[in-house]
A and B are shown apart, each in its own frame.
Chain A
Amino acid sequence: MLNIKNLEAIIDNKHILKGLNLDIKPGEVHAIMGPNGSGKSTLANVLSGKNGYEIKGDIKYNGESLSELSTEERAQKGIFLAFQYPLEIPGVNTNTFLRTSVNSVRKAQGEKELDTLTFLKLIKEKASELGIDEKFLSRQLNVGFSGGEKKKNEILQMKLLQPKLSILDETDSGLDIDALRIVADGVNSYKNKENAFLIITHYQRLLDYIKPDYVHVLSNGKIIKTGNADLGVQLEKTGYSNIV
């Protein structure tokens, strides 16, 4: 599904990613762990198509070169990034935003756009699965939401857009244990043989709830070690300094 070869990323003359290789197949859950400043969020930004990076190397998504796709095209083709810091957008109603988003993706995929009523029904169902109060949906997007509410809103968007590749960037940060469990349940219930996850995290904590097939350690812009779920547990005990 995703094949990254020798990826380099430079921003403001800083070399952040320095030759990263990663292959993700449908049905797999990959976790990327690493110390602060190792390039984890840069990888998420680059995959989402954020401007400002000088990119070298090659990223193929279902055989297609990602560099030729705009951010919105990537989303329309099934790449989803749950932001580490979801943006507050004043004046934009959460409901309107979600419907515009879902319909933009449906339209691009050649599906019929959802009318207001069908959409409302869908969103009520998905929101209640994540324990999101309906009142949030009529508020301005993420404005005044707590950290946990913002993260739940990200997972709600994931479930509405039904992406093939979901990248979760530090989704566990700012979550209390209950919110963490809800978010993890949201992810686990969406997981299937067709889709894949790339979970970027600093701590093992989230991986107690979402079991990864592979754990990669990112350090200084490169993956320096790959293992199974046990590697995460080991890192939690020993810290990064013993490995990097």
Chain B
Amino acid sequence: MKQNYDFKIDKINDLSPEEVSLRKKNLDLFYQTGFPNKKNEDWKFSDLNSILNNNFNKIVNNDFLPIETEFKIIDEFKHNFISLLNGKLISNDFSFEEKNKISIDNFTYKNELSLGSKNSLYFLNNALATGGFSLEISKNYKLKKPLVIYNNFSNSLKETLINYKNSIILNENSELNLINYINNSSKENFMVNTIENIKIKKDSLLKNILVNNSKCNGYFYKYIKSDLEKNSTFENYLLPSGFKFNKLDIEINLNEENSNSSVFSALNLINNEHQEIKTRINHNAPNCNSFQKVKNVLNDESKGVYQGKIFVKNIAQKTDAYQLSKALILNDAAEFDAKPELEIYADDVKCSHGSTSGSIDLNSIHYLKSRGIPEKEAYQMLINGFLSETLEKLSEGKIRYFLTEKLERQINGH
């Protein structure tokens, strides 16, 4: 196996000797296996090692200076924001909120070796991460406006790997609408490896939206670990179209009664883009609900993957878990792989899954064309109709409208 990467811990500024030593241990653990490949069951359909080998001459890490950068603010709806450049926290603005209810700071790196993950990207992140943020919402506080996280990246990140960690904590009875907005149109290949830890305490609600604004040559991996307490809700709306490669690895732990989670994803893949949504929903307590709807449209030689696992612990009676994957395959050279998994140890549960893939309905295309609509537009309308359904459950009208327009742009080629 060709090793085309060269990672150096001494590139990272201001580390104590203990940190250096722990990071070195993590780097060694990474080097034992290298980037994940298809021999690893979790990466069976997304052989990251060969994808990187085929698209990068070398990969290096770097520590970035937090530099103020100009970026376009979303003007479709009023919002608070945090801005990041290459993973470093640059600025924040919570002018719609009570200041003492929100805490935002740089992520503090604790000296951790591993959180029990077998994934080598986790070790790599432990070894090399810099930047990222910690966000905490106070008890009984519901943000008046959504929070947009502007994820900006320099256009000069050629063959560079960025690693960072975020932490988001919603204390009891709090609410946050979070929009991860990725904005980069770099032609250079770069990679981003993010680990995000989310804690949703009792009676709280987090809506987590991810939307990519432009096409770029980025290779993204994000691992989200979330823990939910009693009566809490975690909704995800994912619109990541436009990356060269992306894998969203989402772990949701429904740890206490009456907690709810949902994952809605809409992807339109073109050229040789490759994206994977991987979820693991752990029903660890009774009376919890989880819902997943993953929709993919595959053009050209693109590849889409959905691996969705639902785990129901023996005490998690009255679990209601559902997952559905639907794919439209528009070209013979495109590929979609779905691997649903149910692992159930309780006997009084409702768990179901479904997976369909097929081609676009030519009779519908004919119908639209017979009304004077050109063929290309007819296809776009049907694709848009297929994907936009994933946004129906989002109750915030302005955000939904904004996302619908972004999705339309993603479908019509950015």
Contact = CB atoms under 8 A, between A and B. Distances in A.
Contacts of B388: 91
B308 to A, nearest CB: 22
Given A51-B362, A70-B375, A91 B370 contact: no
Interface string B379-391: 0011011111100
A75 B369 contact: yes
Task: Pick the most buried of A51, A74, A92: most chain B CB atoms within 10 A of its CB.
Answer: A92
A86 interface: yes
A210 to B, nearest CB: 21
Given A90-B385, A90-B389, A140-B385, A100 B363 contact: no
Contacts of A49: 369-370
A101 to B, nearest CB: 4
B384 A71 contact: no
Contact of B373 (A51, A72, A140): A72
Given A97-B381, A100-B381, A87 B367 contact: yes
B385 A89 contact: yes
B372 interface: yes
Interface of B is mostly: helix
Interface string A76-96: 100011010011011110001
B381 A92 contact: yes
Nearest to B378: A72
Given A89-B364, A91-B388, A71 B369 contact: yes
Contact of A72 (B362, B375, B382, B387): B375
B362 A101 contact: no
Interface in B329-386: 361-364, 366-375, 377-378, 381-382, 384-386
Task: Pick the most buried of B372, B373, B375, B381: most chain A CB atoms within 10 A of its CB.
Answer: B372
B372 A81 contact: no
A161 B384 contact: no
B323 to A, nearest CB: 20
A61 to B, nearest CB: 14
A48 interface: yes
Task: Pick the most buried of B361, B362, B364: most chain A CB atoms within 10 A of its CB.
Answer: B364
B372 A83 contact: no
A98 B367 CA distance: 12
A105 interface: yes
Contacts of A226: none
A55 to B, nearest CB: 16
Contacts of B363: 87
B374 A72 contact: yes
B370 A100 contact: no
A16 to B, nearest CB: 17
Contact of B372 (A75, A96, A140): A75
Interface string A47-72: 01111000000000000000000111
A97 B368 contact: yes
Given A87-B361, A89-B368, 5 more contacts: A48-B366, A49-B369, A51-B366, A91-B382, A157-B371
CB-CB nearest 7 A-B residue pairs: A91-B385, A75-B372, A101-B371, A105-B372, A71-B369, A92-B385, A104-B372
Interface of A: 48-51, 70-72, 74-76, 80-81, 83, 86-87, 89-92, 96-97, 100-101, 104-105, 108, 140, 157, 161
